[in-house]
Structure 1
Amino acid sequence: MSAAVFYESSRHEAYQLPAGILALAVHGAFFALLYFGFAWQTQPDAAMSVELWDSLPESVNAPLEVPLVEEVVQPAQPEKIAQPDIAQPEPNIAQAEPKVEQPEPKIAQPEPDIALPAEKKIEVKPVKKKPAKKADAKPVARKPVEQQAVEQDQDARIAQQQADLERAEQAAARGRLVNEYKAKIQNKITRNIVMPPGVSDDALAVFRVTLLPGGSILSAVKQKSSGNAAYDNAVERAIIKSDPLPLPPDPAMFKDFRILELKFQPRKAKE
């Protein structure tokens, strides 16, 4: 019995010690909370009362000295206003520029309207003259055409003149060549004439000589007698003896020598 009682008593004591410690800790914490809570509640009241008494004289002095100076010093606000104003007009100008580009043709249209009322009496007359100017412009456009036609005519005339000059030069050269070879033919026949006696120096015999290409004589026909049969016969014999007669080397000139009318005089033969 004693052992069991001792065991139970010791067991009961073992549980009582921690319970007491726990109770003391709980009470201590409770009192600490009460103390600090009261101190926390009382401290702000004292601080607020002290600050109110201190701030009254300071607040009276502060508005007298500071607010006037601080309000005057605050021109920073216009600077802030100027900065956004400068930043904003830049996009506004950029937007206005394309808008101005669109109305430019619209502004260009009323400008003549403004000029018209300013000079109604003066400008009404030129308005009527404008169609006249257009009518004048047409002949102005035609003038170059006429000038071109005139220039073309002048060019054609110049070309024609040049061509005529060339043909004249060629004809002159051809005539000189024809005369040169006719003189050669005349001289060849004259050298072959055997002059009969008693022929007058003024005697003139005319023969028509037909030639073949190469200068061969096809025929020699007397067109006019000299009045001296002996002289006429002597000339005819000289023509036949002179066969072939000299011709230019150009075959195209043969047409100028196909038929020749040759005149013979004793006086010329002596010369």
Structure 2
Amino acid sequence: MKPATAGGPYKVPRQHDSWRSITLAVAMHAVLLLFLWIGVSWQNNDPVEVQAEIWDMKVQEAAPTPPPQPEPEPEPQPQPVEKAPPPPPVEAPPVPKEDPEIALQRIKKKKQEEAEKLKQEKLEQARLQKEEDDRLAKLEAKKKAEQKAKDDAAQEQREKDLAEQKAQKKAAAEKLAKEKAEKVAREKAFAAEMSRITGSAAKGSTGTAAQSTGGRVDGGYAAAIKAKIKSNLVYSSEDDSLTASYVITQLPTGEIIGVRKVKGSGSTAYDNAIENAIAKSSPLPKKKDGTVERELTLDFKLKEMH
């Protein structure tokens, strides 16, 4: 053991026999436990039988003095266990100072890395923006192409409809011109035939001249004409109330040169069917004497045309 230096703080000397102290402490605790066990056992002993004798009160003898009881030995006090002194604090190793040049280079490198990262982020944003702009441009171009295709199809359909209308008008004009030409030809033929008949009548010929239209139409003659027209009629309907009236103009040969509707039936289909049947019935039947009525008016009732 080294004495404390003069003027310095007192230091607890370091114990080098720690195992000895631990062994001594364990032994003291064992002795203490033994004494405690003996004391408990002594207090729990069976009681000693005591005998007493009764004496006459007249005899006054002093009772024998009880023998002195031995005093219990004092329990040994456990010695305090000396605690080991705490280990001395470990001092942290000194941090080496960084070279200012190295620190400056490190900071410069970090700034360069951050600048490069920022540059890459801007490039990535620009790329994404360009892709989005390209996508929107393609979408707009697609919409324009679809709209143009629709407009072209609509224009083509309009042109087609206009061409069909022109063709229909042209066909209608050609049909009308043809009908007029046929009518003129029929009228010329009728005039020529009438001139021939009139000339023959002036020479005394009889039996072939046309009858006056102002006379009454023969019932049998009208029935024969209706019967022929009926045979060429193609029409079916449950409404038997339909009636149409037509004026028919014919040549002396019975050929029809004109059909004029006087009264319609109210059904365009029935009227067209009657007109087609009249046209198919040319030439019409003649009277028994071989003559014809130049103009005759006939009523076509559907219930009679079945």
TM-score, structure 1 length as denominator? 0.32
Structure 1 or 2: larger helix share?
A: 1
> TM-score scaled to structure 2, two decimals?
0.28
